Structure 1
Amino acid sequence: MKFKYLTLLSLIFVQLIGCKGLPEYLFLPQSMKLDLTPFLFRVYTPAELATLSNSDFNLNESGLITGTKLSRYLSNWANNRPAGVYGNLVLFQIQTNGTSGRYVFFDGKQTFSYPIANLPDLLTETRDDGVLSVDNLVPKGKKISDFFSIYGIDPAIDYVVFAQDASSLANLTSATFAYYSLLYWGFPKERLAVLNGSIADLTTANTLFTTPSYTYTNSNRAGSTKTLFRDHTVLQLTIGDLIHAIKNGNTIFEEVDPIPTEGFYIIDGRPNASYTGTTNSTASGSKYGNCTTKINSTFVTNTCVVTFEGRIKSASNLVPTDLYDGTTFQFKSFSQLQTYLNNTGYPSGKQIYVYGEDATKGSLVWFILHQVLGKPTRLYEGGWKQYGALGLRTPSSGSSPSAISQPASYWRTDIVSLSENNTANADANVPNYQLDVSRQFVKNSNKLRSEDKTFLRGSSSGAAASSGGGAPTGGGGNACGG
């Protein structure tokens, strides 16, 4: 037994010293059908996953890229692709608000493009963190694997770009959240990008070569995040992590991350009216989109809102509309973005906890902080949709109860130690999502990350699925790192 173990370690060592520059699918243990997950799995930190952009976005090879760079890639991917990338280029033209009628030119051999109108359906999911179910969070591993299979993506070697088809905030936030979702599931940051600007505008500016027609082509192959041996789940900040930090570690919560040794800094990435509590926020959960469907049918208001408005304790405001041009929806210059962050009072070096109204909207500010300015940043996906829902309300007869009914609930957030500028919303606009008493005193909000870690560490045998013949299925993590 000892001899076999030493032999295994020797094989790994030989691979490590000689694998520089090799594609990830040539990783020796994978080719030998050895399951080395316990030995090779690497857990990344927010700092390791951060990307510091060049001050000139044209020089970026991943993260935030320009139309000039994308055009160069598409013109000759084999010769112009970034160092260390060995697979295909896969581009998604996000069409949340209709189509521009222009499509990037791709060869259908090494470059592929997909117009996609339902990206949120494919890359978000309603999930329960153990406290409160929230919609539009990062999806489960099965959904991500299905996404790779549908569009022929091998995460071990391919390069993925998310781009607005036409310029709109919905398309932009869909792009940043899709980027976040793939990065969360282990996709290397060196092979992920968001296009700065829309396909339509860059076509008009003669930056991209596009056509008015589209022909579907698929690479007919796919891989699985399980074969990457990477754990990026630290990007997600749970409500338990957040409250534990705000209370300086004085909680009885289970499975919460320790407070960073460098300290933390909370950024509210919502418009100023939301930050100051002077506008209503959407209620948590898609079933609360219309308050006529509330359990108590006497309430006919058509807008459901959270229990109270305000902001998380000690949060500073980074207004999202300051970060991009309101017409082209291109991000502003690197120096401007850095100035906006500095204006929040951010002390350099601290880990940033950022949130928006929801995960998708919050991802835009997260992307700038983490993947452009290079700051160690975690996204509280639940956002104000969850945090603002966990307020106490003692309803009168026939009124709608709030999520929290027990004043001493561990998850009650409308108290001065956890939130500021608290303003209760009208009872008629708050939906019936009262939590069971057991949930109000549960000690763990880490259900999502636990599920995802289990999925990642599951058996990798057969994980690389092929939806067609011919092309390699990838597989294999990169023992050389990256």
Structure 2
Amino acid sequence: MKLKYLTILTFIFAQLIGCKGLPEYLFLPQSLKFDLTPFLFRVYSPAELATLSNADYNLNESGLITASKLSRYLSNWNNNRPAGVPGNLIVFQVQTSGGSGRYVFFDGKQVFAYPVPNLSELLADVRDDGVLAIDGVVPKGKKISDFFSIYGIDPALDYIVFASDTTSLANLSSATFAYYSLLYWGFPKERLAVLNGSIADLTVANSLFTTPSYTYANSNRAGNIKNLFRDHTVLQLTIGDLIHAVKNGNTNLEEVDPIPAEGFYIIDGRPNASYTGTVNSTASGSKYANCTTKTNSTFVSNTCVATYEGRVKSSVNLVPTDLYDGTTFQFKSFSQLQTYLSNTGYPANKQIYIYGEDATKGSLVWFVVHQILGKPTRLYEGGWKQFGALGLRSPTSGSSPSAISQPASYWRTDIATLSESNTPNADANVPNYQLDVSRQFIKSSNKLRTEDKSFLRGTASSGSGGGGGGAPSGGGGNACGG
């Protein structure tokens, strides 16, 4: 490793010998016109990306912030911004249904706010991990770049707050997943926040100054996530990582992360009825309404139920509704959240694997454990929608086959070594999404993270299309220009 950096520095020094008159503000790789991206990236661990909240949420400057903190930021961002934040303040009012009719007051110079009814479309994607296509997972790099371009965000400078517009679980979980998506793509945790409470309720309580009218304004700039040189993709736990861990490393799967030296702890972040397998889990997507007439061959385009109900083996239940107030949708106190986690039997320092029904719903529990309680945590984005889909059944004539048709498939999950409380769902309610045999024996589910790592380190354009807020990546040619 030292030899690699010494080689880079030697090359830089050699290039600088003949270079004169370079502006002092130019970032060195840009002025030399070669791309050091693959060498400069830092890969972060789950512990490094965790945020331990203050017991008094009012004291937080990022992560979970309160109305008093946001009001202070909005009133005078230039003087009240957190230390080390040089850019703009950008607030997203998350509206999954309807709207409050109240808007955060902003100056359109250093502070911007956007009501967004389609945040899940902007910051989530339908993606194939190599085993099974799943919807609602972290978006591709191009989509993140487009997001920065649309809203004039420079990820190297700006501070972002996701706030529920009105009080609802859909808005809150959409906000936590948006936070997760940006953190996954390298946005520093010190410049990301979720507002505790909704714009509507906080306005009524006179805790937040808002206005009934909205005028669009944009900074007309955008930066490139690649130029942060940060790799946070470890936040995503693949199904291969999960299976490999549950089987104590006794698999022939490839591109899986090693089991943490400190051990792991699996948390099921679904309601207790889902954890115990007593209610049906909705399958992924919304295209179809009747499983008995389905002929599609992909898991992503139906509204039926998973192949079976149950839970991942050795998982414990952290019920999401325990973590927030059911009326205000504000998170419970720090001490209460600590107690709920402790009551699951969590042994200190183990790495935590969290899953929900899907990525968005799982992100709420992930946010509590990782970004409030500060525990080293990874999110299995596929959730039960993916895990519970990969069961084996022998359908009767005319009924839908399951995703898995080969008993020895590497990805079959309805076996005692991988799941508990297994209850098959009725054939007529399970969609037809049988996997090709080749997929049932593919050895890696790491396709998404491989794509994302390549995007971050690649020399191609991010696809941002935005203005010059971020530093451009270097090209080839003469390192001194010309």
Please state how far the C-alpha of 1:396 moved relative to its aligned partner: 1.2
- Kindly state the Cα deviation for residue 207 of structure 1 after the two structures are TM-superposed: 1.0
Matched, 1:473 2:469: yes
User: Normalising by structure 2, what TM-score?
Assistant: 0.91
Whether the 8 Å contact between 2:455 and 2:462 is mirrored in structure 1 is no
Contact 1:89 1:160 in 2 (8 A): yes
Match of 1:255 in 2: 255
The CA deviation string for residues 410-458 of structure 1, in whole angstroms up to 9 with x for no partner, is 1000011100000000110000000001111110100000000110011
Q: Deviations over 1:84-105 (max 9, x none)?
A: 0000011000111211010010
Mapped partners of 1:26, 1:157: distance in 2: 16
Is 2:391–2:404's contact at 8 Å kept on the other side of the alignment? yes
Matches of 2:347 and 2:280, distance apart in 1? 30
Question: In structure 2, do the counterparts of structure 1 residues 207 and 8 end up closer, same or farther at CA, with 3 Å as the change threshold?
Answer: same
Native 8 Å contact 1:464 1:473 kept in 2: no
CA contact (8 A) 1:239 1:445 kept: yes
Q: Aligned-pair distance for 1:293? A: 5.0
Distance 2:325 2:257 in 1: 36
Contact 1:137 1:381 in 2 (8 A): yes
1:6 is aligned, of 7, 10, 17, to 10
Secondary structure at 1:38 match in 2: helix
Amino acid at match of 1:371: Q
Tell me, in whole angstroms, the C-alpha distance in 2 between the residues paired with 1:252 and 1:275.
Answer: 28
Identify the residue that residue 16 of structure 1 maps to in structure 2.
Answer: none
The question of whether the paired residues in 1 share the 8 Å contact of 2:390 and 2:404 is answered with yes
* CA shift in 2, pair 1:173/1:4, >3 Å: closer
| Conserved 8 A contact 2:307-2:389 | yes
Summarize the alignment of residues 139-158 of structure 1 with structure 2, pairs less than 5 Å apart: 139-158=139-158
The within-5 A match list for 1:54-453 is 54-287=54-287, 290-291=290-291, 294-295=294-295, 304-453=304-453
User: How far 1:312 moved relative to its partner?
Assistant: 0.2
Partners of 2:292 and 2:399 within 8 A in 1: no
- Contact kept? 2:285, 2:303, Cα under 8 Å: no
Distance change in 2, residues 1:268/1:11 (3 Å): farther
Q: Is the 8 A contact 2:401 2:434 kept in 1?
A: yes
Q: Which blocks of at least 5 consecutive residues in structure 2 are unaligned? A: 1-5, 17-24, 297-301, 474-482
Query: How far is 1:276 from its partner?
Result: 0.2
SS at match of 2:450: helix
Q: Which residue identity lines up with residue 267 of structure 1 in the other structure?
A: I
The AA in structure 2 aligned to 1:357 is E
The DSSP-based 3-state class of the residue aligned with 2:386 is helix
The aligned counterpart of 2:299 is none
Moved more, 391-400 or 108-117: 391-400
**Residues 108-160 of structure 1: per-residue CA shift (max 9 Å, x gap):** 00000000101111111111001110010100000010010000000011001
Contact 1:389 1:403 in 2 (8 A): yes
Deviation at residue 35 of structure 1 after TM alignment: 1.7
**TM-superposed deviation, 1:10:** 9.6
1:22 aligned partner: none
| Cα offset, 1:26, TM superposition | 6.6
1:112 aligned counterpart, secondary structure: strand
Conserved 8 A contact 2:145-2:463: no
Separation in 1 of the partners of 2:98 and 2:266?
A: 35
1:161 and 1:193 in contact (8 A); partners too = yes
| In structure 2, C-alpha distance between the alignment counterparts of 1:5 and 1:199, rounded to whole Å | 50
Q: Aligned partner of 1:140: which letter?
A: K
Distance 1:366 1:149, change over 3 A: same
2:65 maps to a residue whose letter is I
Cα RMSD for the two superposed structures:
2.1
1:362 aligns to what SS in structure 2? helix
- CA-to-aligned-CA distance 1:156-201 (integer Å, 9 cap, x gap): 1100100000110000000000000000000000000000000111
SS at match of 2:82: coil
Rate the CA distance shift 1:269–1:71 in 2: closer, same or farther, 3 A: same
CA distance in 1: counterparts of 2:402 and 2:178, whole angstroms: 32
Q: Give the partner amino acid of 1:277.
A: G
Structure 1: 5+ residue stretches without partners: 13-24, 297-301, 478-482
Give, in angstroms, the shift of residue 463 of structure 1: 4.6
The corresponding residue for 1:18 is none
Aligned residues: 456
Please report how far the alpha carbon of residue 473 of structure 1 lies from its aligned counterpart in structure 2 after TM superposition: 1.4
Partners of 1:414 and 1:422 within 8 A in 2:
yes
Partner Cα distance (1:29, 1:212) in 2: 47
SS state of the match for residue 227, structure 1? helix
Which stretch of structure 1 is more off in the superposition, 33-42 or 430-439?
33-42
Q: 1:224 corresponds to which letter in structure 2? A: N
Deviations 1:243-292 (A, max 9, x none): 00000000000000000000000000000000000000011344455536
**Distance (Å, rounded) in 1 between the aligned partners of 2:315 and 2:8:** 54
Distance in structure 1 (CA, Å) of the matches to 2:106 and 2:26: 27
- Tell me, yes or no, if the aligned pair for 1:223 and 1:464 is still in contact at 8 Å: no
Give the conservation status (yes or no) of the 8 Å contact 2:225–2:456. Answer: yes
Q: Indicate the residue corresponding to 1:480 in structure 2.
A: none
* Distance 1:464-1:88 versus aligned 2 partners, 3 A rule: farther
> Is the contact between residue 142 and residue 464 of structure 2 (CA under 8 Å) also seen in structure 1?
no
